[in-house]
Structure 1
Amino acid sequence: MSSETGTGTGTESVRGRGVGTAVVVGAGVGGLATAIGLRRAGWEVTVLERRTSPDRYGTAFGIHPTAQAALDRLGLGDALRARAVPYRDARIRRPDGTVLAALPLERIERKAGRPELLISRPYLIDALLAELDRLGGVRIEYGHRLTDAAALAAGPDCLVVGADGINSVVRTAYFGHRSGPRPIGTVAWIGIAGFETGLHGETWGDGRFFGMTPVEPGRTNWYATVPEATTAREVRAAFADWHDPVPRVLAETDPATWIRYEMRHLHPALPTFVADGRVALVGDAAHAMTPNLGQGTCTALLDAEALTRAVAATGTAGGPAGLPGALRAYDTERRRSAQRVAFGSRNLHRFATACRPALRDALVGLLPG
């Protein structure tokens, strides 16, 4: 795998190679997984990434059993399990520590035969890059700022995959401006504490919530929303009287390592994830969602696996000739499913941050404890 810097549209890198040539825009989880699947199907792949180096920022990813199965089919299941930790025994609580309900992790594990897993984001990115390096035949061009996404599919022999996130240049070029990033008026903070809390799940307050999950031995992943807070000091103050260990997690995590971001989603939902018989969107480019269900990475992995499976079904020799049908099959399999998850995540955000917590807590209390 080579790392190059490009300044053109990227078309020169992928045109003229004949059958089975693809360009993937974006080297996040969805883009790298798509590149792996396409390479396994015999395609030559170029990945264009605007960042100048691999994107390893962030904390933890939750990987649902369905996404684990997708990683197995991509040949990455063992790499995931080597660094992931199981997520079990998590609760929804009030700020005073009163348990309202259990998260449905036990039911998920019983039904799937495997637990929900959590993995550090850098570990997953590195596992994807290592698999691409092992496969060969994939070029990643870092520092490539795409200026003309529409030119990528100028030739009839190229599959274009937009995996370039919520601000997708590919989506705008091929799908227009009707759907785009929409803020929901909430700022989130995430970080990793340097100790294990032994207590996991989410605590829901009045317009605020705080979550803790395992991530690796000796560390705890946490996330919080505080509508009115703009500084680490204000975040700490907002949770100062919440149950242990919430104040301690914030006190003992260096604010310099906190990540602050405005929560957004893609709205309105796209009527299709594919265009022109050779362009497809995956991950946040197709259905960016709030993080409340913890399914953003899972849906990106499911997209990547479904897309590359559909393309592989056309046969390596068939290549672009079978692309329109393959992309239609991908859209049929993934669009409604992914959009249902996005809709559910947005509604859960509204519910978790409700300004009538008494009614919300009464409803949550009806769930299995």
Structure 2
Amino acid sequence: MAQPARAIVIGGGIGGLTAAAALHRRGWEVTVLERARSLEPVGAAISLAPNALRALDVIGIGDEIRDLANWQGDGGLRTPGGRWLSRSSAEAAAARFGGPLVLLPRTTLVARLAALLPPGTVRTAATATLADPGDTARPARVSAGGEELEADLVVGADGINSRVRSALFPAHPGPVYAGFTTWRVLIPVPGAEFASHETWGRGRIWGTHPLKDGRVYAYAAAMTPAGERAPDDEKAELVRRFGDWHDPIPAVIAAARPEDVLRHDVHHIARPLPAYHRGRTVLLGDAAHAMPPTLGQGGNQAIEDAIVLAHSADDLAAYTAARLPRTTAIGRQAVKVARLNMARGRAVVAVRDTAIAALSKAGPALFLRSFDGIADWRPPYASEQAHADRR
């Protein structure tokens, strides 16, 4: 009896675990090597659009994740003083894209993905190095903890500072600073009742969203020099930058402890890679196409990558052909949105806000328009998978 094909996934984040689950579902023997001591993810929450939820349908957990949707009624875009520039609703989003938008803790998604894998698949505290990308005549090789492993496929899902990417494309300049930093909190806020919203100021934005588990996910961003940090703590920095914005922003900041506030500078891959594969080794997620978070598509595109990769694992050129143009276009759109919502000039911001309000009165909210061509994506082999599941 022939041995199953073997894959090694370097990186146990959302993209890596989705790839592992999708490959396992298609009969591959998979090992996930994660350098951290646990699978606890960096970051607070993740927004999943209908495109990613359809991808998760392929591995059988889409409906389970959809059940976590909690965006009800009106939401939209506001000014720091509280005026609504644009309003939308969960119903409008579902009608436009054929499904809901779901916001959930990253830990929930990571745990559910990991549960799809056989015991022993994930090895934590395992720092891995690509020793040889392989080719048609020889397997790829990975070094991890003094051990050398061979595989028919190596998946580089090791994030924005990917060592696999550097090994495959050493001449590529890698990620660059996007010009702004972000803060995130995921906390209970007693008595908080509000509509999901994002608020755009001058060179600053804030978003506040209730989760189904009763907690509140909030994020903020501001134009700052790379590497800058608060002189005291990041909660105090949020008070300085956003403490006089509309409700419920001051209450959310007040409910957070300094240790609840995560801060990270934003980097992205401005120059697309020449390909997402070389030999038997492939890149996905931030390792391949890190993008600003302004469309909320980083994790969504990693999930798409993983599902397409599992289908194209025997033809990595087809994977590159399917994924590189799409993710490059979405990354560029995210950069354009960042320039819009992080604009700082008083006159530019006034024109921006007036235009958003006018456009939203004339048709679908800007929030929904920005997802056209993105959220309506469907897996290339969903019907094939559904047929296989019925057998």
**TM-score, length-scaled by structure 2:** 0.80
Give 2:327's aligned amino acid. A
* Worse-matched range after superposition: 105-114 or 66-75: 105-114
Residue 365 of structure 1 pairs with residue 350 of structure 2: no
| Equivalent position SS for 2:263 | strand
| Equivalent position SS for 1:344 | helix
CA contact (8 A) 1:89 1:105 kept: yes
| Equivalent position SS for 2:117 | helix
Partner residue, 1:247: 250
Partner residue, 2:81: 96
How far is the alpha carbon of 1:106 from its aligned partner?
Answer: 4.5
How far is the alpha carbon of 1:56 from its aligned partner?
Answer: 3.0
**Aligned positions, number:** 335
* Worse-matched range after superposition: 167-176 or 190-199: 190-199
CA contact (8 A) 1:150 1:174 kept: no
Mapped to 2, the partners of 1:88 and 1:346 lie a distance apart of 29
Residue 346 of structure 1 pairs with residue 335 of structure 2: yes
CA contact (8 A) 1:179 1:270 kept: no
Give 2:356's aligned amino acid. V
Residue 117 of structure 1 pairs with residue 102 of structure 2: yes
Mapped to 1, the partners of 2:212 and 2:41 lie a distance apart of 16
Residue ranges of structure 1 left out of the alignment (5+ in a row): 1-16, 312-322
Deviations 1:286-328 (A, max 9, x none): 11011111111110100000110223xxxxxxxxxxx2xx212
| Equivalent position SS for 1:330 | helix
Give 2:154's aligned amino acid. V
* Worse-matched range after superposition: 330-339 or 63-72: 330-339
- Of residues 226, 229, 236, the one that matches 1:233 is 236
Mapped to 2, the partners of 1:233 and 1:21 lie a distance apart of 49
Give 1:74's aligned amino acid. I
- Of residues 310, 319, 323, the one that matches 1:334 is 323
Mapped to 2, the partners of 1:299 and 1:149 lie a distance apart of 23
- Of residues 153, 160, 164, the one that matches 2:134 is 153
Mapped to 1, the partners of 2:275 and 2:203 lie a distance apart of 34
Residue ranges of structure 2 left out of the alignment (5+ in a row): 140-150, 362-391
Deviations 1:243-289 (A, max 9, x none): 1111111111112111100011112111211112x111111111101
Partner residue, 1:194: 188
- Of residues 155, 170, 175, the one that matches 1:176 is 170
- Of residues 74, 93, 114, the one that matches 1:129 is 114
Give 1:242's aligned amino acid. W
Give 1:127's aligned amino acid. R
How far is the alpha carbon of 1:210 from its aligned partner?
Answer: 0.5
Partner residue, 2:122: 140
How far is the alpha carbon of 1:226 from its aligned partner?
Answer: 3.0
CA contact (8 A) 2:48 2:101 kept: yes
Distance 1:108 1:337, change over 3 A: farther
Mapped to 2, the partners of 1:87 and 1:347 lie a distance apart of 28
How far is the alpha carbon of 1:95 from its aligned partner?
Answer: 0.8
Partner residue, 1:36: 21
| Equivalent position SS for 1:132 | coil
Mapped to 1, the partners of 2:298 and 2:327 lie a distance apart of 9
How far is the alpha carbon of 1:88 from its aligned partner?
Answer: 5.4
How far is the alpha carbon of 1:97 from its aligned partner?
Answer: 0.7
Distance 1:54 1:345, change over 3 A: same
How far is the alpha carbon of 1:234 from its aligned partner?
Answer: 2.5
* Worse-matched range after superposition: 37-46 or 106-115: 106-115
Mapped to 1, the partners of 2:176 and 2:12 lie a distance apart of 23
Distance 1:199 1:78, change over 3 A: closer
How far is the alpha carbon of 1:68 from its aligned partner?
Answer: 0.5
Give 1:97's aligned amino acid. G
Residue 59 of structure 1 pairs with residue 41 of structure 2: no
Partner residue, 1:218: 214
Residue 299 of structure 1 pairs with residue 301 of structure 2: yes
Distance 1:42 1:177, change over 3 A: same
| Equivalent position SS for 1:131 | coil
How far is the alpha carbon of 1:103 from its aligned partner?
Answer: 5.0
How far is the alpha carbon of 1:104 from its aligned partner?
Answer: 7.5
Mapped to 1, the partners of 2:243 and 2:312 lie a distance apart of 51
Mapped to 1, the partners of 2:194 and 2:156 lie a distance apart of 40
Give 1:167's aligned amino acid. N
